[in-house]
Amino acid sequence: MNRAFDLRMGESHIEVYKFRTGAIPIATLLALVIQAWLPLHFTRAALLDLPLLVVIYLGLSRRNPSTGLLLGTAVGLMQDSLSGPTVPLGLFGIAKTVIGYLASSLGARLDTEHPAARFALTAGFFIIHQAVVALTRRILLAQPEPWFTLHNFAAALVNALVAMFLFVLLDRLRRPS
């Protein structure tokens, strides 16, 4: 299992990374726990969406849309489960399913190893994630929800900045090729 796969698209080739055994579940659970715990002590930490960052990272790294969307579904549903009764199961699940699929699809076409690319992609995915959440709330749940605010923009930048460092840490969980 100590292998790396190559996706050849045109003349460029993009590697598909595998991770150490148990790395993905552990990273996911850790992100969820920290996400649930951190805002209790640091209010401003509510800006972060660590499960989303994990989904983005794994999607960009695995580069398999099916795996990416299923992982996004699992993470999103768990986040929904931990978010209390005001968040119905499926709200973040749908959004992270979409992000998992998009990240995997884009990761198969772009080089996502560069920090600047990771920053831009994370910010973009965060905005899309918020848009899907707002869409779900407004259309499906008939709940008032703004499409996009300055707060969301700031959160997108913060998450993208955090992702630049978090993704470097997560890179260490990859199996060496």
Partner 1 sequence: MPPRHKSLVLLAGVILLQVLLLAVQIKRDSQGRLIRTWTVGAVSPFERVGSYGFGWFRNAWRNYFALRGTRKDNEDLRRENDRLKLQIAQLEGKAAETDRLAALLRFRQSQSDIPMMAARVIGGSAGPASLTIELDRGERDGIRRDMGVITPDGVVGKVSEAYANTSQVLLLTDRTSGVGAMLATSRILSPVGGVGEPLLTMKYVPNDDDVSLGERVITSGMDHIFPRDLPVGTVTEIKPGVDFKRIRVKPAANLEKLEEVLVLLTLRPLETANESDPEGAKSSSPPALNPPPVAHP
Which of 96, 82, 86, 68 is closest to 35 using CA atoms?
82
> Is residue 106 close enough to count as binding partner 1 by CB under 8 A?
no
Residue placing its CB nearer to partner 1 in the complex, 40 or 142: 142
Closer to partner 1 by Cβ: residue 70 or 173: 70
128 counts as binding partner 1 under rule CB under 8 A: no
Instruction: Determine phi and psi for 147, rounding to 5 degrees.
Output: -65, -50
Burial of 112 (0-12, 13-18, 19+ CB in 10 A): buried
Choose, by CB under 8 A, the member of 29, 70, 162, 164 that binds partner 1: 70
The phi, psi pair for 119, rounded to 5°, reads: -60, -50
* Contact call for residues 6 and 15 (beta carbons, < 8 A): yes
Candidate list 90, 110, 127, 138; residue touching partner 1; CB under 8 A:
90
> Which listed range, 21-29, 33-41, 52-60, 68-76, lies at the site for partner 1 (CB under 8 A)?
68-76
What contacts 24+ positions apart, CB below 8 Å, involve 150-153? Answer: 152/126, 152/127, 153/127
Q: Using CB under 8 A, pick the residue from 55, 56, 69, 121 that binds partner 1.
A: 69
Residues making contact with partner 1 (CB under 8 A): 64-66, 69-70, 73, 77, 88-91, 93-94, 97-98, 101, 104-105, 136, 140-142
